[in-house]
Amino acid sequence: MTAANPRRVALRVVLQVLQKGRSLDDSFREEWLRSLQMDGRDLGLAREIAFGLCRWYFALLELLRERLQKPLRERDRDIECVLLIGLYQLLVMRTESHAAVNETVKLARACNKKWASGLVNAVLRGVIRDGVRLDESAAARAYPDWMRDRIRADWGDSAEAVLVAGSQRPPMTLRVDTRRCEVETMIGSLAANGIVATPHALVDSAILLETPRDVTQLPGFEQGLLSVQDASAQLAARLLRCRPGARVLDACAAPGGKTAHLLQEYPAIEVDALDSSEPRLERLRQNLERIGQSARILVGDAASPAGWFDGRHYDAVLADLPCSASGVLRRHPDIKLLRRESDIAPLLEQQAGILQALWSVVAPGGRLLYSTCSIFRAENELQLERFLREHTDASEIALHEARWGELRPAGRQILTGRDNMDGFYYALLTKSAN
């Protein structure tokens, strides 16, 4: 099967997610796709279908299986995906019925399975004939069972809103370098170019675009005045409250959004950016070059300071740790398909190990900001409560004055979708001076 049109590209990408465990972002960066030289409109359609199908996969799969007389075989996973692409176009994108059916039947034929086009035609026309619609609860069903159950157990009455928010398209949020350009000035510059943007209600460096755009075409991007970053992630730099001359470590730093913000927010600090992935650090270098900033780049495992720590302790450490990414499902919907319940216990152990290691490099009187893009309590407040019990030299600086998120027994939690923000968790710790 060639991959020359957007639906074929989307099918191939989704199959890579399902069969090879590849992320959507990695798949869309692969050489085979770049070699197609698709125009922006076609590439945008391919991304919309691939990302959207992953976002709604479990709800659409439930609907499809109700309408099949017998389950498809594993070797026909491609045809199942073709059917789901058709359902996504009909029920979520609201593509015109005739076009959605015809294009999906063509996609089935391209799979070289003669029987499949008849099945696809019958299923989709049946959905149209019966007036099938996704009800209000469909967004909350668009999750693997274990993930939905954990969110409900953690967040009770708030869970349904969180589930629905996690199945929506995210806003395109930008960070303005407020030391070089006022937010209102940037909004005016965008408006002069026909781009509607509004300031975020709670994060004064953040603006939201009414319609997503190619960021490289935005005025101010190449000059480093604008960067893509969700409002919740923009909170990290200011929470650290770095003093001039402070020595700061951004652990697990790549691809560098928070590193860049630290350098823009505190021009008189010294920053070390640590990550174990050399390819991801290359993206960090590119991001810093674009904004005209620099940091000392360290390649190493945050859990093993012996490989990178030079003995000079840090005044501030940003510990943005590996996590389930359950708070950013709307931006990375493939996580719904790729993450397993069995992943959580090893992640908790990894987080605890990194936190323990990073605490050892914090100077007396220094601060550590623990951060995840997770909404699972086990990765956040429960992890911090345990750490605080075990470390008598650690105390929490409670974020009482914050207007975002909700105060927890330890730290502060932002739930997905609240105030147009991704799900995020922060806890600020200080090490005793003696």
CA atoms within 13 A on the CB side of 413: 21
Task: List the structure tokens of 304.
Answer: 């093993």
Q: Kindly give, in sequence order, each residue whose CB lies less than 8 Å from that of residue 190, ignoring residues fewer than 6 positions away.
A: 196, 197, 207, 209, 218, 219
Phi and psi at 189, nearest 5°, equal: -65, -40
Indicate the burial class of 268 (C-beta count within 10 angstroms; 0-12, 13-18, 19 or more): exposed
User: Is-catalytic flag, 373?
Assistant: yes
Task: List the structure tokens of 370.
Answer: 């623990």
Taking the mean position of all CA atoms in its chain, how far away is CA 231?
Answer: 12
What is the number of other CB atoms lying within 10 angstroms of the CB of residue 257?
Answer: 22
Which one is catalytic: 81, 242, 252, 373?
373
Integer Rg of the chain from CA? 23
Q: Tell me the pairing of strands 314-320 and 406-407.
A: unpaired
DSSP one-letter code for 172: E
Q: Tell me the pairing of strands 424-431 and 270-275.
A: unpaired
Phi and psi at 288, nearest 5°, equal: -65, -40
DSSP one-letter code for 318: E
Chain position carrying tokens 């399975």:
113
**Residues 104, 86: Cα–Cα separation, whole Å:** 6
Mark out the alpha helices in 30-144 (DSSP H runs): 31-34, 40-67, 77-91, 97-109, 116-129, 138-141
**Residues 175, 66: Cα–Cα separation, whole Å:** 44
In this structure, is the dihedral angle defined by the CA atoms of residues 16, 333, 231 and 195, taken in order, positive or negative? Answer: positive
In this structure, is the dihedral angle defined by the CA atoms of residues 122, 124, 125 and 130, taken in order, positive or negative? Answer: positive
Indicate the burial class of 238 (C-beta count within 10 angstroms; 0-12, 13-18, 19 or more): middle
Task: List the structure tokens of 281.
Answer: 């650090």
Question: Residues 379, 347: contact at Cβ < 8 Å?
Answer: yes
In this structure, is the dihedral angle defined by the CA atoms of residues 276, 282, 284 and 285, taken in order, positive or negative? Answer: positive
**Residues 246, 362: Cα–Cα separation, whole Å:** 12
Active site residues: 373
